[in-house]
Copies of this chain bind each other. A is one copy, B any other.
Amino acid sequence: MVPCSEEKRELIEEIGLNFQEKHYFTPLAGRIYAIMILSRGEGFSFEELTGLTKASKSSVSTNLNLLIQLKYVEFFTKPGDRRRYFRSTKNYLKLTLNEHLVAIEEELTLVEKINKYNCEHNPQRFRKNESLGSIFQKYLEVQKNNIKATLQKMDAFHKRKVL
């Protein structure tokens, strides 16, 4: 039984739920990732994770490997210790931003397709909604530019840190 405060447990569930909804994680993947976000970054061993999540080895294994593949999690080793230690990568915010970007680009192309179809097949309806649609498109463009600008800011920040 790995110790963990009630407060932390609740936060883990809440954050985990959020990652289920917004990043399509499984419940367990959400919990694992939440545990890592709420830590000093020194990494968790495999058995600590099974203990904290109360899940089976197999489930932890699969979900952990999924998170590693998606670059949410990385691992490192310590000399004279067979175990691997798992922690969240530092680019969570960047990954999130990239997901936002993809979502918005998808939405833009979809809106364009709908407009194109209605312009050709339902001209009356299209004309009625034209200006509203362009307001929406402008909105998406602004969101997109904000994401791109923020990504650049983050890159600049990372470079400064490294030097």
Contacts and interface: CB of A to CB of B under 8 A. Distances in A.
A97 B103 CA distance: 14
> A-side binding surface: helix, strand, loop or mixed?
helix
Question: Quick one: copies of this chain in the complex?
Answer: 2
B118 A38 contact: yes
Given A39-B122, A121-B38, A110 B146 contact: no
Contact of A110 (B14, B122, B153): B14
A90 B125 CA distance: 10
Interface residues of A, number: 43
A88 to B, nearest CB: 10
A11 B113 contact: yes
Contacts of A147: 139
Contact of A150 (B90, B122, B135): B135
20 contacts: A11-B113, A11-B114, A15-B114, A37-B114, A38-B117, A38-B118, A38-B122, A40-B122, A90-B129, A93-B132, A93-B133, A93-B135, A97-B136, A135-B150, A135-B154, A138-B150, A139-B146, A139-B147, A143-B146, A146-B146
